[in-house]
Chains A and B, each alone.
Chain A
Amino acid sequence: MRYFIFLTGVFMATLVSANKPVLTIYAPDYFVSEWGPGPSIEEAFEKNCACDLKFSAGDLIPRLILEGSSTEADIVIGLNTDVTKKARETDLFAPHRQDNQALFLPIKWTDNTFLPFNWSYVSFVYDETKISQPPSSFDELADMENVKIVIQDPRSSISGLALVLWVKEIYGDKAEAYWSKLAPNILTVTKGWSEAYGLFTSGEADMVLSFNTSPAYHIAVEEDKTKKAAIFEEGHYAYFELVGKLRNTDQPELANKFMQFVLSAEFQSLIPFTNWSYPAAQDRSEWPEVFSKLPYPEKAYFLNEDRADDMRTKAIEEWRAALSQ
């Protein structure tokens, strides 16, 4: 009898899960991992959707192009503004149909396809015990002596690309000259953010290209207050992470529901302590204290995708030429 009940239970469970519609979301690996926001978002959304949310980790745009219209993805989360042009050109995305007015961002958001869900300022993070006088501008950064900075390669890392565009936007024609001036302070260039940040936390480098929200992790998890972001008076490049809905989704209603959920208080309040960045649809006053107390710049730089795309090749080439000397 006990077995019968057990078997019925198993049978019912499979029946229920078989009937549930599946919402497939493509996301980067760090997002889906148990240390990222994926699991708690999945749990929160499944409470009210009568559905099965499935994250699928992997690279986003190349994967969508390889899969073409046969893709199983309904939603793609974790894109950023420097790849939206290419993403848009694939013609795979549909309008997000959310109110951009609900966003609290340092710039005015007008894109109707890609919706930001969190953001931060690209920044240089330093170790206070090694650098007592942090630079307050790019010029001061280059003038520093005996400092070792690690940055990411703009050809393989999105934060590396953000830095190159940021410098190009500030220095224009003089960007290459600036890179030559900064070159002696650059210890090395890494493939991605993880390798660079590893060199910083292991003590090999004094400063690393990261985000102004990175210190929040050290404060909240490690109770370490020595890691800080240097704030530059020129202003900082704003880095947005985006979510988009696939045009060919077989679950349009669920997908819409998820897009709505992204802007909800529940989703937004999961972001800071799992993705270590600012929630996009919350006012500063609603953020956790660790975040609202972080230093931030006066001005935000934001390059729309056409401008970023125009500048990209030249900016990378100048960077490469200057650092290859």
Chain B
Amino acid sequence: MARSTVTVISSLFLVGLLLGPLISLINFSGLSLSLSVSDVAAIKFTFVQAAYSATLSTLLAIPVAKALQRQSFWGKRFVVLILGAPFILPVIVAVLGLILVFGNNGIFNSILNLIGLNSLKIYGFWGVILAHVFFNLPLAIRILLQAFNDVSGEQYRLISSLKLSFIQKFYVLEWPILKKVCPGVWAVIFAICLSSFAVALTLGGGPKATTVELAIYQAFFFDLDFSKAAQLALVQVLLVFSVVVASQFINRPKTVLGLDIKTSNYNITGVEKIIDTMVIILTLLFIVIPILLIFFHGFFDVFSLPLSVFKAASLSIKIAILSSFLSVFLGLCLTTNLGEIAGSLGIAISPIVMGAGTFLMLKNFANPYSLAVPVTVVVNALVSLPFVIRILKPPALEIRKEFENLSRSIGLTGISWIWWVYLRRLKRPIGFSLGVAAALSMGDLGVIVLFGSGEIATLPLKIYQLMGSYRLDEALASALLLSLLAFGSFAFFDKLGRML
């Protein structure tokens, strides 16, 4: 009873925060209701690439997560941690890393040429998909791995004692988990890819790869047609919304609970072991090589960066910490289907419209630029919220289902229940989601900056300034610093969740 009130209130609060900017922009400019031929083409491309990216990321994540779950090897923790890196890398850095590997003069093509094959052209539809899979595969792996790990040891033992065939085993063991987790994963990746702009255009090789977000940018900054920008933003919201709502209606089976016994003996066959090893090595190569190349490119300049870059870094850290706590707090209030739908708005709303709308909302009360830091904290928290909810919701549901009646029967309710049972059992997902939120916030430019940065200079902003002044090397070094900080905060919170 009390919980549903909390969810409804937080959902309403959230929808207000997120839709408020869109509504105030429409209020300011009106809403245009015409789509040109190129707009329709952009909507189509946006939808198709997002669907492909989400499907591939989710499908590819299944064997990797499975392999990571059933194989134990030295350094596994570190592998799992490093696999999370692309998701938290700043976009410009990751794109450059991918180009260093898959571009014209990249390693991949050098190898192809060496063995007498033709170069592969990254720029095009599959380039966009490649980049999006690179960004989102790690997220999918982590969420699936968590779900696989949550299956009780008793169940594994029972199933391995039954001598089932491979297909039967899959059907009784993995299929229920996949059915439960995959729709949500797919929907959140779809939503992220929907608002892709710079990545899609650069790797898409030209205007074929025009997304709705680019059309919004053009309408807003070039045509000064705010009503058209608002209309396109609305289209984007509807696309995300329909997918997220649909993912809620997929019937999810119940899982069996046990006594938290961890099993390491899964009766793996030799073939499975070989396949798993290959899967893990290939994934690691795909994820780690671009990152390593960036590292070597930028590492030596890090120490000669000007002081202002480090000052910006410290501001970025402060914002990241505050916004990650806010995001996880909101996320804990929203671990229901309704919350998941409301929370997904955070990535559905175009950052441009969000920035403009927030500006319009604030300007009646105060100078928006003097509020740049708090606004950035709140907006970054909202943007990470969909991921946070996706991470927290499945374990939270499980805990409620299993422990609520038991706890009530011994009179453990309210705050003490939340403290002694709920949060304790959620500490790992909480740590993981704090890490994701902090890292995402670190890489975010901050919406208000689109219109006026005032006194606020975050690290991503410094990177853009350096790139805009011909200083690519220093920009790369700053980007490396940013990646290290993002990765560091992610690792810190993730570890904290395991330790406490």
Name A's B-contacting residues (CB within 8 A). Answer: 26, 29-30, 33-36, 56-59, 61-63, 65-67, 70, 83, 86, 148, 153, 155-156, 161, 183, 186-191, 193-195, 197-199, 201-204, 214, 217-218, 221, 276, 317, 319-320, 323-324
Structural contact, B221 and A195, CB atoms closer than 8 A: no
Contacts A/B (CB < 8 Å), 9 sampled: A34-B306, A34-B465, A35-B469, A58-B452, A62-B220, A65-B226, A214-B470, A317-B38, A323-B208
Given A29-B465, A56-B454, A58-B452, are A190 and B198 also a contact pair (CB < 8 Å)?
yes
CA distance A191 to B470 in the complex (A): 16
Among the 9-residue stretches B199-207, B272-280, B373-381, the one with 4 or more Cβ atoms under 8 Å from chain A is B199-207
Shortest Cβ distance from B43 into chain A, in angstroms? 15
Interface size on B, residues (CB 8 A): 56
A203: nearest chain-B partner, CB-CB: B105
Chain B residues, Cβ within 8 Å of A155? 207, 210, 214-215, 217-218, 222
Chain B residues, Cβ within 8 Å of A194? 464, 467-468
Given A189-B201, A204-B105, are A29 and B453 also a contact pair (CB < 8 Å)?
yes
Name B's A-contacting residues (CB within 8 A). Answer: 28, 38, 41, 92, 96, 99-100, 103-105, 123, 197-198, 201-208, 210, 214-215, 217-218, 220-222, 224, 226, 306, 308, 356, 359-360, 363, 369, 449-454, 461-462, 464-472, 475
Structural contact, B104 and A190, CB atoms closer than 8 A: no
Structural contact, A59 and B99, CB atoms closer than 8 A: no
CA distance A221 to B202 in the complex (A): 28
CA distance A221 to B469 in the complex (A): 12
Shortest Cβ distance from A183 into chain B, in angstroms? 8
Structural contact, B202 and A188, CB atoms closer than 8 A: yes
Structural contact, A198 and B123, CB atoms closer than 8 A: no
CA distance A204 to B453 in the complex (A): 32
Chain A residues, Cβ within 8 Å of B360? 66
CA distance A65 to B322 in the complex (A): 32
CA distance A323 to B308 in the complex (A): 41
Given A66-B359, A202-B96, A319-B207, are A187 and B123 also a contact pair (CB < 8 Å)?
yes
CA distance A197 to B466 in the complex (A): 12
Structural contact, B472 and A197, CB atoms closer than 8 A: yes
Shortest Cβ distance from A246 into chain B, in angstroms? 15
Structural contact, B472 and A62, CB atoms closer than 8 A: no
Structural contact, B208 and A188, CB atoms closer than 8 A: no
CA distance A63 to B210 in the complex (A): 25
Chain A residues, Cβ within 8 Å of B105? 203-204
CA distance A34 to B224 in the complex (A): 29
Given A29-B464, A201-B472, are A153 and B453 also a contact pair (CB < 8 Å)?
no
Chain A residues, Cβ within 8 Å of B466? 33, 35
Chain B residues, Cβ within 8 Å of A61? 224
Pick the contact of A59: B202, B203, B451, B470 (CB < 8 A).
Answer: B451
Chain A residues, Cβ within 8 Å of B453? 29, 56-58
CA distance A196 to B201 in the complex (A): 11
Structural contact, A217 and B470, CB atoms closer than 8 A: yes
Pick the contact of B451: A66, A191, A201, A203 (CB < 8 A).
Answer: A66
CA distance A119 to B384 in the complex (A): 42
Chain A residues, Cβ within 8 Å of B449? 58
Structural contact, B471 and A35, CB atoms closer than 8 A: yes
Chain B residues, Cβ within 8 Å of A148? 104
Structural contact, A191 and B198, CB atoms closer than 8 A: yes
